Amino acid sequence: MTKRKWIKRFLGISGVLFLLLNIIACFHAYHFTHFTDKDVVKTKESKDLSILEKTKIVLTGVNNPRPKNTKTPSLPFKTITLQPTGGKKTEIWSIQTPKQAKGTVILFHGYCSSKSKMIDKAEVFLELGYNTILVDFMGSGGSEGNRTTIGFYEAEQVKHCFEYLKEHGEKNIYLFGTSMGAVAILKACHDYGIKAKGLMLECPFGTMYETVSIRFKNLGVPKYPLVHLLVFWGGVQNGFWAFSHKPTEYAKKVNTKTLLLYGEKDNRVTRAEIDAIYNNIPTTQKNIVTYPLAGHENYLLKYNTKWTEDIKAFLE
């Protein structure tokens, strides 16, 4: 076979492989950012998957059923639908503290979650004397759509909820977010200049690229080139440049007191990412609290008393 034919064959094989990698990345990006209404079982944590199951996920993507609200608050609450002009329909629960209200805390859930998962944390704030607003991001619970942008467009919903409270006369507004919810808060502060009374942020990732890389690492898959392609196609499918989705940069516009909370056993967000966000927050009124045995999870499960004390101290 001549050298020219070898080159043609090499280029042909390379082209086919590149096409296949892009197709796989497209599948992943779509399943990563779109929920399904079909009755499917959510993909298990990577640590609980067999090699065969991991291989299947690499080729076809994860199962992502639309998050539902699985319970309602024990205290009386109002279900309110926000429908800003040009914005997503957002369903919220408003719960009033039985005590003399000191302000209102808006709670934003994480990826593949819903506002019902924030009820236990809302109960802590209510006991501390704060009204609460629990929010369903787009694609979750009672809100509109079936997609998520991992905090990018969700920042608009943070703004709308903040403005809703301001319009109703609330002056002491605190924002609480876990994982993607924390990212959405940071982006809202960056894009819209939101000045809340304080921010409480649990385990926000540093950049979109980093969070996708870690998910592939947990599957035991080399990050190059699939991570780059997945981030690219995820942005294209959802109308934004995903490589610029960087909470570490958003943090530079935060000018209110901030509490960062982090589990030292977190396998989805690194301590380096948390430190980068913390160091970029310009205010001196900031603090990091860590929980040695907690992972990327609800910190109340292992540190109920400590978490409550940390939150109380921050609010005082």
Q: Model confidence over 71-90: pLDDT tens digits?
A: 999 999 999 999 887 777 99
Q: At residue 233, does pLDDT exceed 90?
A: yes
Least Cα distance to 75 among 125, 141, 109 occurs for: 125
Residue with tokens 């690194």: 270
Q: How far apart are the C-alpha atoms of 22 and 52, rounded to whole Å?
A: 22
What number of helices (H) and strands (E) belong to the chain? 10, 8
- Three-class SS of residue 214? helix
Dihedral through CA 207, CA 208, CA 211, CA 215, nearest 10? -160
Q: How far apart are the C-alpha atoms of 289 and 106, rounded to whole Å?
A: 20
Q: How far apart are the C-alpha atoms of 136 and 89, rounded to whole Å?
A: 10
Give the least confident one: 12-26, 193-207, 229-243, 291-305. 12-26
Give Cβ neighbours of residue 45 (< 8 Å, ≥ 6 apart).
none
- Three-class SS of residue 198? strand
Is the bond preceding residue 225 a cis peptide, omega within 30 degrees?
yes
Q: At residue 1, does pLDDT exceed 70?
A: no
55: confidence class by pLDDT, cuts 50, 70, 90: low
Q: Which amino acid is at 266?
A: D
- Listing DSSP states for 12-78 in one string gives HHHHHHHHHHHHHHHHHHHHHHB-B-S--PPPPPGGG--HHHHHHHHHH----BPP------SS-EE
Q: How far is CA 63 from CA 23, 58, 173, in A?
A: 17, 12, 36
Q: What is the pLDDT of residue 50?
A: 72
Most confident among 23-32, 61-70, 168-177, 209-218 (mean pLDDT) = 168-177
Q: Which residue has the higher pLDDT, 3 or 190?
A: 190
Q: What is the pLDDT of residue 206?
A: 98
Average pLDDT value for residue range 106-115: 98
Residue 290: phi and psi, rounded to 5, are -120, 155
Tell me the fold of 77-207+245-315. Rossmann fold (3.40.50)
Q: What is the pLDDT of residue 169?
A: 96
Bridge partner residues of 173 (DSSP): 104
If you average pLDDT over every residue of the chain, what do you get? 93
Q: What is the pLDDT of residue 2?
A: 74
Sequence ranges of the domains in the chain: 1-65+209-244, 77-207+245-315
What pLDDT digit, counting tens, does each position of 122-134 carry?
999 999 999 999 9
Average pLDDT value for residue range 51-78: 84
Strand order in the sheet with 258-263: 77-82, 90-95, 131-135, 104-108, 173-178, 198-202, 258-263, 286-291
Strands (E) in 190-253, as ranges, are 198-202
Q: How far apart are the C-alpha atoms of 87 and 95, rounded to whole Å?
A: 24
Percentage of the chain exceeding pLDDT 90: 77
- Do 52 and 220 form a contact (C-beta atoms < 8 A)? no
Q: What is the pLDDT of residue 54?
A: 66
Average pLDDT value for residue range 8-33: 89
6: confidence class by pLDDT, cuts 50, 70, 90: confident
Q: At residue 44, does pLDDT exceed 70?
A: no
| Total count of residues recorded for the chain | 316
Structure tokens at 48: 């609980």
